[in-house]
Structure 1
Amino acid sequence: MASSLYCLKFVYLLSFLSTIHLVAVPSFSFVQPLCHGHERSYLLQFKESFAIINNKSISFDPSAYPKVASWTLEGNNSDCCSWDGVECDKSNGHVIGLDLNSSYLYGSINSSSSLFNLVHLQRLNLADNHFNHSQIPSTVSNLSKLTYLNLTNSTFSGQIPLELSQLSQMSSLDLSYNHLEIKNPSLGRLVENLTCLENLDLSLVSIISIVPNILANLSSLTSLRLYDCKLHGEFPVGIFKLPNLRVLNVRKNKGLTGYLPDFQWKSPLEEMILANTSFSGKLPASVGNLGSLTEIDMRRCNFSGLIPSSLGNLTNLNYLDLSLNTFEGHIPSSFGNLIKLSFLHLAENELNGTIPFKLANLTQLTHLFLYYNHLSGQIPFGLMNLTKLSSLGLAGNHFAGEIPSSIFNLENLEALDLSANNFAGVVEFDKFVKLRKLTSLHLSDCGVSLIINETSDNTTLTKFQNLGLGSCNLSKFPNYLANQDELKWLHLATNNIHGQVPEWFWNVSKENLEVIDLSENFLTSLGQYPVPLPWTRLAILDITSNRLQGSLPIPSFSTLEYHVSNNSFTGKISELICNMSSLQVLDLSINNLSGSLPQCLHNFGDSLLILDLRRNTFEGSIPQTWTNGSKLLMINFSQNKFQGLLPRSLAKCIMLKALDFSNNQFNDTFPSWLGNLPNLKLLILRSNKLYGPISTHKAKYKFPSLQIFDLSYNSFTGSLPLKFFQYSNSSRFDSASHLTYIEVNSSFIVQNSFQNYLWNLQYSYPMIMTNKGVVTDYKKVQEFFIALDFSSNRFDGDILESIGNLNLKGLCLLNLSNNILIGHIPQSLKNLVNLESLDLSQNKLFGEIPQQLTQLTFLESFNVSHNHLVGPIPQGKQFNTFPSNSFEGNPRLCGSPLTKKCESSEVSLPSPTTPEESKDLGSPFQFGWKIVLIGYGFGLVVGVIIGQVVSARNHDWLIKTFGMRKLVRRLI
């Protein structure tokens, strides 16, 4: 308060001195003095230090013009006080104001600039120019009378000088939208002397610190904008209590935490913008006391609980965004009191119930977004009162009944999204077309069947930008598309469209289309398509799960995602595909493609995230083209005919999470060179011609994140490679409290003038693994799932007792079957407390089955058949559920479930088979490398993997691939 009084006293003093001066003026007419010659010279020097460039890269303001063009000594223009942008003190002629906002100035500025000789300056505005990444000169402190400084969006860079803190009379400081940083001094030191500050805008300044408590002492502060400053730590609650604060904007500081206080004081706060931070907790009911609020933006925070009905008291609100939180309960009917509201965004929460009928009172509403909640019931007929509505987003709820006819009375609608609901009935497309302003329509998966009258004249009138008509029971390509030239988004997936793509389709919106999704139809041919495809801005092409034949189409070189999985394409991959230098997802899986891979795969190595080539007939070696800097996260080469060596260059792909070489003809040793990949979770080498021992003593190959490791059906020898797991990060196995999957998320935003749409791909990595004797196709793999399959190799030696002491606490599946292992079954296996499946069959193990294994309470499948085990089978708990064929082929085992009863001598003193005796009992490899399918049931998989179980003889286990991708399309 003291600093506020000081600032007021300073203003009153200036006013008083001005009054005294006016009293002293003689009675003759007042003549304004000319500007001082030295200040005129300083201005001209300042002008000459810059180029004047009329270019949008210099200024984005359409009203910009070169103000300094009037600065000249020609004619009668020598009075600098008359120059554009220059303000002089009327009493003494000194330059006190300089407004060169949006003046096309280009060039550098330094400490010797003549600008800083204008020591009487009180107001300086250089916003929206281009100062060529100059630093703010330290000589700005020469301008000691400065009260207003605006340098926003002027391409300044570097550290903000401490000398700014000497400008103690500053009331408004705007350094936003540059490339500035505050490191030394800190933000606290910078503002500690600026006690008169009313407006502080440091948006996009890189601060990377906590918000200093000293800001809560700036009692004159009316506006605080710290947008996207990389702030972290807890936000000082005292800032909310500043007596004059009207605007608070700390948006897009994800590391910034905080909570809303109990607002039991009078506050002039008008804008509270906390979006994209980590503020959390509940909204206090006292927020309804902030009666001056006109804007609340809490989008993408961590708020929860009920939305307080007291928000309905804020009758001055015109903007309310609570989206992307976890609010629950009903939408308060008190929202019907917010009659000035024009923007209401409650999407992506946990809200339920119906839309309150009182929302029909919000006649000023232009944007209403409720998508991706749990709302139900019918859309209220009263929405027809919202005649100003331009965007209505109700997608991803449980709305039912017919689409109300009242929607077709909203003549100002530009965007309508009803997708992913439970509507019913048949709707004529003409009704939507009659909404003349409608350019974005999304009806995909909303439950209705769409009738398109191809003879209607209306279909040629409306120019759409976004059309989502997936799952609308369409049987052919709508002919009205032929007249569309402004389309950016076209979604026709999951319909009943048969036959050939019409030839006119290749001319649709060639200069605008960015997203095309024709997946899950019955298309058989693309016809005579151009090479490459004609859409110059295409980012997403998805023709997955059709019946398309012929050679692969080549999309435009701008493509980011290319999905053609589950078709019948044949032939080789054209070298032209490598011109897609920005490609992020390449999914060619489940086709009949053949030949060798193009050598130019490295062309998109810097951008590619997903490469899926599984289930084709590719052959030859994989090109050694991967380079440092690769962003590849998932690679699937499985079920082809690749030969030769594994590609060593993959060791450079340090971001890899999943790598599958299975079911090929690779002939190589173990790829220990992959052991330094820090993120590799899944490595599948199943069913190849890999051979030799696997050395685990080399400390430089640690596989620190490996959790799914399948070496089955190869010719590896030597001891079991279990020691890889002594280096692993065991913390990832400790908790399974949240269900996340090994997946990649990529997104693309289609921008429109009224609203943006998001394409979001969640690619969950699929795999095939033998679980409980059955070949299993897993569509998703959970992050915490751990599985080891070393079966059907030539591993020998003991299963070390130390297996139970490695970082394998979360191990769910362990398969060591069909090897040449000897020795006892380790008692330490009891420590693998999450084990669900244990297969030690077809080895040369001897001795008893440890009684301690009954402690494995999650064990659903246990197989020790065809060994040399002796003595009684443990009884109790899970062991009472295992069938007899889990123990067959061990003639000296006894007890339930076998028919052989244990004699008293066997119970009290078992006689294990010696290693010498076991030599005569044959090798498991006499079984001819067959997959032995044990006939036990596989039961529940305890929630760790979502999969479809099929027999090894079933070749149709991957009929559909669209199930591994979850596409979310929504308004943002």
Structure 2
Amino acid sequence: MTDKYLYQFMFMRFLFLLSLVLVLLTVSLSSQQPLCREDERSALLQFKDGFIIDCSASFDTFAYPKVASWTPEKEHSECCSWDGVECNEDTGHVIRLDLSSSCLYGSINSNTSLFHLLQLQRLNLAFNNFNHSQIPFGVGHLSTLTYLNLSNSMFWGQVPKSLANLSSLATLDLLKCWLHGEFPTKIFLLPSLRFLRVAYNQDLIGHLPEFYSSSSLQVFTLEGTSFYGKLPTSIGNLSSLHVLNFRNCHFSGSIPASLSNFTQLTYLDMPENTLTGHIPSLSANLTQLTFVDLSYNKLSGMLELDMFLKIKSLSVLVLSSNYLTLLTRISSNDTLPQFHTLTLGSCNLQEFPDFLRNQNKLSWLELPDNNFQGLIPKWLYNTSIETLRAIILSSNFLIGFEQSPIVLPWSKLEVLSLDVKMLQGALPIPPASTKIFQVGWNKVSEISPLICNLSSLSELDLSHNNLRGILHPCLGNFSPFLSVLELRSNNFHGNIPKTWANSSSLRVIDSTQNQLEGPLPRSLANSAMLEYLHVGNNKIIGTFPFWLGTLPQLKVLVLHSNGFYGAIRSSESNYTFPKLRIIDLSCNNFSGHLPAEYFLHWTAMKAADANQLKYMIARTTGDWWYSDFAYSIAIANKGIEIEYQKIQDVFTVIDFSSNRFEGEIPYLLESLKGLHLLNLFNNAFTGHIPSSLGNLTQLESMDLSRNKLSGIIPPQLAELNFLSSFNVSNNRLTGPIPHGEQFDTFENSSFSGNLGLYGKPLSKQCDTLPPSTSEENQGSESSLEFDWKVVVMGYGCGLVVGAVIGKFVTIRKFMRASVKRQQTPRRVNRRM
């Protein structure tokens, strides 16, 4: 090749390479971030400066300060490259802003510079803390928005009507925003809306509009709100729905048959409303359903279960707690859906459904409150052996197991509930994986020692059976996770093992109404989580267990009707009972003066906050379930017993009745401002009634009868507005009976047996009744003489007795108080 051609070749090669470089450079430049508009960069910086960056205020543990990269310095001024910001490649306008979990803390209003971003299409402010700001109405000016997520960001107040102006909006998420007031119905009718979630805003109210035309809505969630009214028939026009979640709302009326139009529906969740009537036929069109929960409504009538069994995709079916009668003609030979969760409680089933025989994937089987009788069939043992984690058969009429195995075969079982009222004889033991084992309220007389192998157990309920013998030592240490131990109303005897209740997880111990003897084991002081200790109605002896005062969580201490004796020693700094709310020492042999110093340390009894109406609950938890325990109340007054369903956490009780306490009633009781019930009946107290008791403004019941009290009834007691039960009979009181709104309602019996008292309501006959003698106060039968007792209580005796007395009152031959755990309904909750 000549030099001329060589140069031409090299020159053309150079031009080719240069062209290639120019092309690559052009592509590279075109792929760079668009230039940021100066006005929008300023708006973003101004928005950032309006907040404190505080990740501790976030509700997301993975939150980080995205806006940390937003700086005005020249080298960082290109806002389209900032974290959470996306711009249009051609115009440079900010079109997407994702500041979720960005540690923003502070208030936001409609003047915020954020609303200068008029081309914004997506806005995500979830998981920040906007400090109870209202959702700004200015959001409605962002006319190009297609996505708006304000969930979990501490917004508060009403939903602005301006959101209904966002005609392009496809996603609206207002989950857990503390919203209240009326929800704008026009938002439901936005033409492009596909995802709407306003769940867990308890005070948000509203009703559904008429859906006159078809809608693009696919996910519709109002769970945990206060939406009300009937479901309109036109809801069937939401034919694109995949998820319908109206759980725990206030909808009423019937379920519209137009739901069968939801041919794409996979998730139907409407429990805990007040829906009535029949369940319409759904199976013909709803072939995609995987989840159905209609429980805890008022649905009624005959229901062909076959309607659901024909939906092959269905894996969760929950129909419990309605007024349904289920029928099925499908047998185990038919092709059926393989359920994951099946809950058919209170469905009037007469026998175990035959289709259960071929269920191989069940994880949760719940069949309580039906009419099963006789034996649990042996074929049930083969149902979902490898997958079943919960089986609940409570409140039926079963008497045992057919060909009962020693250990039940479900290898992954975690929850077994058999409190069915009629089980008898010996019971098989669930596998070692079991966490909740409930066999209370039966006639069981024997439990295998293999129960000690349940090393994962969190709750054990053997209450109200015919079990006898001594307590097995393993109860104290066989499971480090044991939280609730219920042994009440059996015939256990002997000493309580010293290692018993040595678990650091124990919250509830209830062994009342047995024949247990000996002292309380000091190992109880090692149960740092213990909240509830009830050992009443046994034969336990010893002095007052002051060492329990070190337990930081102890709320309820019941020792009544045992053989405790002696003086209660003065408190020390380490024995303060800081959270004690209910203490019952009645019907023992305690004596001496009340140590007034204790009252100074009972901090929980000093709070008079009636706004915190929570229930006294112990909870056991697991990977996918939890179980709550609330305790009912039995209050007796002169032979009449009234039972309430739960104990509220604000209720406080002192019951020292029927002992041998003496000396004056300590004036320091006045520091217990939250006290609701004071019972010092049948002791040997002397001196005057402290006028300082008039400071106990929450007091509902006071019994000072059968003591040796003298002097006048302090007129300050007439100012106790909640006092509905008052008794000072059989003392040595003198002077006039005070008058007041409550005092004028008390009867003669509240004041009888005080020779020097006069005035209404006493008549002349009552004025001359002799005072009680010291022998009456100290008789050996004092345990049968007391007028009323409260053990573990439900709040509100004084104000609600009139409303409930017709329903809950029973007459007892001998006065007694009892505490019974709430059994019906007893709900074990699932996490799907």
Q: Is the structural similarity TM-score above 0.5?
A: yes
Q: Alpha carbons of 1:895 and 1:962: their partners in 2 closer, same or farther (altered >3 Å)?
A: closer
1:399, distance to aligned residue in structure 2 (A)? 2.1
1:931 partnered with 2:784: yes
Q: 1:847 matched to which residue of 2?
A: 711
Q: 2:730 matched to which residue of 1?
A: 866
1:330, distance to aligned residue in structure 2 (A)? 4.2
1:247, distance to aligned residue in structure 2 (A)? 4.1
Give the Cα–Cα distance (whole angstroms) in 1 for the partners of residues 62 and 720 of structure 2: 59
Q: 2:629 matched to which residue of 1?
A: 763
Q: 2:263 matched to which residue of 1?
A: 387
Q: 1:426 matched to which residue of 2?
A: 302
Give the Cα–Cα distance (whole angstroms) in 2 for the partners of residues 550 and 620 of structure 1: 22
Q: Alpha carbons of 1:658 and 1:223: their partners in 2 closer, same or farther (altered >3 Å)?
A: same
Say if 1:672 and 1:701, in contact at 8 Å, map to a contact too: yes
Match of 1:785 among 643, 651, 660: 651
1:967 partnered with 2:811: no
1:524 partnered with 2:399: yes
For residue 384 of structure 1, give the secondary structure of its aligned residue in structure 2. Answer: helix
TM-score by length of 2: 0.83
Match of 1:821 among 685, 690, 702: 685
Q: Alpha carbons of 1:27 and 1:603: their partners in 2 closer, same or farther (altered >3 Å)?
A: farther
Percent of aligned pairs with the same residue? 37
Say if 1:825 and 1:850, in contact at 8 Å, map to a contact too: yes
Say if 1:395 and 1:970, in contact at 8 Å, map to a contact too: no
1:711 partnered with 2:577: no
Q: Alpha carbons of 1:318 and 1:748: their partners in 2 closer, same or farther (altered >3 Å)?
A: farther
Say if 1:641 and 1:664, in contact at 8 Å, map to a contact too: yes
For residue 279 of structure 1, give the secondary structure of its aligned residue in structure 2. Answer: coil
Q: 1:837 matched to which residue of 2?
A: 701
Equivalent residues, number: 777
What amino acid is aligned across from residue 506 of structure 1 in structure 2?
Y
1:825, distance to aligned residue in structure 2 (A)? 1.6
Superposition CA RMSD, Å: 4.1
Q: Alpha carbons of 1:432 and 1:810: their partners in 2 closer, same or farther (altered >3 Å)?
A: same
Query: Deviations for 1:815-847, whole angstroms, at most 9, x for unmatched residues?
Result: 111111111122222222222221112212222
Q: 2:536 matched to which residue of 1?
A: 662
For residue 803 of structure 1, give the secondary structure of its aligned residue in structure 2. Answer: helix
Say if 2:126 and 2:149, in contact at 8 Å, map to a contact too: yes
Query: Deviations for 1:200-233, whole angstroms, at most 9, x for unmatched residues?
Result: 779xxxxxxxxxxxxxxx9857242534x77765
Match of 1:889 among 736, 739, 753: 753
Give the Cα–Cα distance (whole angstroms) in 2 for the partners of residues 861 and 644 of structure 1: 36
Match of 1:579 among 450, 454, 460: 454
Give the Cα–Cα distance (whole angstroms) in 2 for the partners of residues 710 and 874 of structure 1: 29
Give the Cα–Cα distance (whole angstroms) in 2 for the partners of residues 240 and 554 of structure 1: 63
Q: 1:942 matched to which residue of 2?
A: 799
1:780, distance to aligned residue in structure 2 (A)? 1.3
Match of 2:665 among 768, 786, 799: 799
Say if 1:400 and 1:424, in contact at 8 Å, map to a contact too: yes
Say if 1:221 and 1:242, in contact at 8 Å, map to a contact too: no
For residue 651 of structure 1, give the secondary structure of its aligned residue in structure 2. Answer: helix
Say if 1:895 and 1:902, in contact at 8 Å, map to a contact too: no
What amino acid is aligned across from residue 622 of structure 1 in structure 2?
I
Q: Alpha carbons of 1:902 and 1:536: their partners in 2 closer, same or farther (altered >3 Å)?
A: closer
Q: 1:900 matched to which residue of 2?
A: 764
Query: Deviations for 1:570-616, whole angstroms, at most 9, x for unmatched residues?
Result: 224625344332x3322221112223333334556543332222112
Question: In the TM superposition, what are the counterparts of 1:98-497 in structure 2 within 5 Å?
Answer: 189-192=68-71, 195-196=77-78, 198=80, 220=94, 222-227=96-101, 234=107, 238=112, 241=115, 243=117, 245-251=120-126, 257-262=132-137, 263-312=139-188, 314-326=190-202, 328-333=204-209, 339-406=215-282, 408-453=284-329, 455=331, 457-458=333-334, 460-497=335-372
Give the Cα–Cα distance (whole angstroms) in 1 for the partners of residues 420 and 595 of structure 2: 40
Match of 2:554 among 669, 673, 680: 680
Give the Cα–Cα distance (whole angstroms) in 2 for the partners of residues 728 and 548 of structure 1: 43
Give the Cα–Cα distance (whole angstroms) in 2 for the partners of residues 666 and 248 of structure 1: 66
Q: Alpha carbons of 1:867 and 1:619: their partners in 2 closer, same or farther (altered >3 Å)?
A: same
Stretches of structure 1 lacking an aligned partner (at least 5 in a row): 1-22, 34-88, 98-121, 124-146, 148-177, 203-217, 751-758, 907-912
Give the Cα–Cα distance (whole angstroms) in 1 for the partners of residues 788 and 541 of structure 2: 33
Give the Cα–Cα distance (whole angstroms) in 2 for the partners of residues 939 and 269 of structure 1: 51
Give the Cα–Cα distance (whole angstroms) in 2 for the partners of residues 558 and 275 of structure 1: 38
1:568 partnered with 2:568: no
Give the Cα–Cα distance (whole angstroms) in 1 for the partners of residues 165 and 663 of structure 2: 76
Say if 1:572 and 1:594, in contact at 8 Å, map to a contact too: no
Give the Cα–Cα distance (whole angstroms) in 2 for the partners of residues 814 and 955 of structure 1: 17
1:461, distance to aligned residue in structure 2 (A)? 2.7
Q: Alpha carbons of 1:639 and 1:959: their partners in 2 closer, same or farther (altered >3 Å)?
A: closer
Give the Cα–Cα distance (whole angstroms) in 2 for the partners of residues 927 and 580 of structure 1: 46
Q: 1:556 matched to which residue of 2?
A: 431
Bigger relative CO (Cα 8 Å, ≥ 6 apart): 2
1:28 partnered with 2:3: no
1:666, distance to aligned residue in structure 2 (A)? 1.6
Q: 1:152 matched to which residue of 2?
A: none
What amino acid is aligned across from residue 349 of structure 2 in structure 1?
L
Q: Alpha carbons of 1:514 and 1:300: their partners in 2 closer, same or farther (altered >3 Å)?
A: farther
Stretches of structure 2 lacking an aligned partner (at least 5 in a row): 1-10, 37-59, 85-91, 790-794
For residue 690 of structure 1, give the secondary structure of its aligned residue in structure 2. Answer: strand
For residue 724 of structure 1, give the secondary structure of its aligned residue in structure 2. Answer: helix
Give the Cα–Cα distance (whole angstroms) in 1 for the partners of residues 581 and 225 of structure 2: 34
Q: Alpha carbons of 1:251 and 1:939: their partners in 2 closer, same or farther (altered >3 Å)?
A: closer
Q: Alpha carbons of 1:361 and 1:676: their partners in 2 closer, same or farther (altered >3 Å)?
A: same
What amino acid is aligned across from residue 716 of structure 1 in structure 2?
F
Q: 1:533 matched to which residue of 2?
A: 408
Give the Cα–Cα distance (whole angstroms) in 2 for the partners of residues 934 and 179 of structure 1: 55
Give the Cα–Cα distance (whole angstroms) in 2 for the partners of residues 604 and 274 of structure 1: 48
1:482, distance to aligned residue in structure 2 (A)? 0.9
Q: Alpha carbons of 1:611 and 1:868: their partners in 2 closer, same or farther (altered >3 Å)?
A: same
Q: Alpha carbons of 1:568 and 1:784: their partners in 2 closer, same or farther (altered >3 Å)?
A: same
1:375, distance to aligned residue in structure 2 (A)? 1.2
For residue 419 of structure 1, give the secondary structure of its aligned residue in structure 2. Answer: coil
Q: 1:729 matched to which residue of 2?
A: 603
